């Protein structure tokens, strides 16, 4: 298999994923903001019912997946730009992946407890 | 290939002093670096903080009340305000970058105007949601 790691279009998939997940999260944010601002006052039953609905759980799961993917591309960009020693950069990248993986697991736990 | 590998060593002036006092960023530059900083803050600590509050508030009625009174603490409110600003700035600046990707508003005057708009709109949204929080 021939794999070009330099030149045009390398990184295109990450670039595109970052933007598509951004749109997904923006849409979710607007919907949630409207629900929070325009709906009835948020009491525990209202809050609980909102996250008990199937569509809300799935939408929030998609948001979490989008966030983790988006945040990984962004974190990697930042680490590539500012952290030059390879060992330190790799360590921080692994820690970032562990953190984002933990967020994902936590989110699933919260949504389907 | 050979031209890319024959890198010239260029002088760099990136001391902390230069970063803080000597390099003057234009407005689009501020929007850009704040987009990075807000993004980093949203990944950590804000995502963890919000997950913690979501977890507790959905776990039980008592948890929900606990988060409510937690959100009344002044320091927590200040933290939430910073979170709201980071989220709004990251969202607005991100939408601007999406438009720039589509070659919208790439001329200098338009780019300056849109960066002012991002800064102003995100601060206005922060004030709006902050007021709702209080």
- The rounded mean pLDDT for chain B is 91
* Burial zone of A74 (CB within 10 Å; 0-12 exposed, 13-18 middle, 19+ buried): buried
> Which of residues A66 and B7 earns the better pLDDT score?
A66
At residue B1, the pLDDT reads 47
> Which of residues B91 and B12 earns the better pLDDT score?
B91
Chain B (86-105) residues lying within 8 Å, Cβ to Cβ, of chain A: 87, 91, 94-95, 98, 101
User: Which chain B residues touch A51 with a CB distance below 8 Å?
Assistant: 58
User: Which chain A residues touch B101 with a CB distance below 8 Å?
Assistant: 19
Q: Is the pLDDT at A105 greater than 90, yes or no?
A: yes
Q: Is the pLDDT at B31 greater than 70, yes or no?
A: yes
Average pLDDT over residues A75-99: 95
At residue B132, the pLDDT reads 87
pLDDT band at residue B3 under the 50/70/90 scheme: low
Quote the minimal CA–CA distance from B112 to chain A in Å: 22
Q: Is the pLDDT at B47 greater than 80, yes or no?
A: yes
Average pLDDT over residues B59-75: 95
Average pLDDT over residues A69-82: 95
pTM (two decimals): 0.88
How far is Cα B123 from Cα B128, in angstroms, rounded to an integer?
9
How far is Cα A55 from Cα B121, in angstroms, rounded to an integer?
30
Which spans in A39-84 are helix H?
44-52, 54-82
Residues 6+ apart with CB under 8 A from B59: A113
- The rounded mean pLDDT for chain A is 92
């Amino acid at each position: 298999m021939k794999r070009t790691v330099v030149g045009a279009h390398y990184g295109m998939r990450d670039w595109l994923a970052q933007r598509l997940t951004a749109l997904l999260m923006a849409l979710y944010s607007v919907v949630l903001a409207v629900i929070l601002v325009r709906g009835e006052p948020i009491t525990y039953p209202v809050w609980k019912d909102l996250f008990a609905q199937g569509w809300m759980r799935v939408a929030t799961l998609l948001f979490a997946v989008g966030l983790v993917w988006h945040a990984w591309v962004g974190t990697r960009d930042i680490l590539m730009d500012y952290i030059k020693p390879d060992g330190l950069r790799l360590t921080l990248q692994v820690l970032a992946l562990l953190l984002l993986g933990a967020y994902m697991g936590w989110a699933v736990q919260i949504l389907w407890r | 290939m050979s031209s890319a590998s024959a890198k010239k060593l260029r002088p760099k002036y990136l001391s902390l002093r230069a970063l803080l006092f000597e390099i003057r960023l234009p407005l689009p530059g501020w929007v850009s670096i704040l987009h990075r900083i807000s993004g980093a803050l949203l990944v950590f600590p804000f995502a963890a903080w919000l997950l913690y509050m979501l977890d507790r508030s959905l776990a039980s009625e008592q948890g929900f009340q606990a988060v409510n009174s937690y959100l009344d603490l002044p320091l927590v409110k200040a933290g939430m305000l910073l979170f709201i600003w980071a989220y709004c700035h990251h969202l607005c600046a991100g939408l601007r970058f999406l438009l720039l990707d589509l070659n919208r508003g790439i001329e200098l005057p338009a780019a300056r105007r849109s960066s002012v708009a991002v800064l102003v709109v995100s601060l206005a949204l922060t004030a709006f949601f902050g007021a709702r929080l209080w």
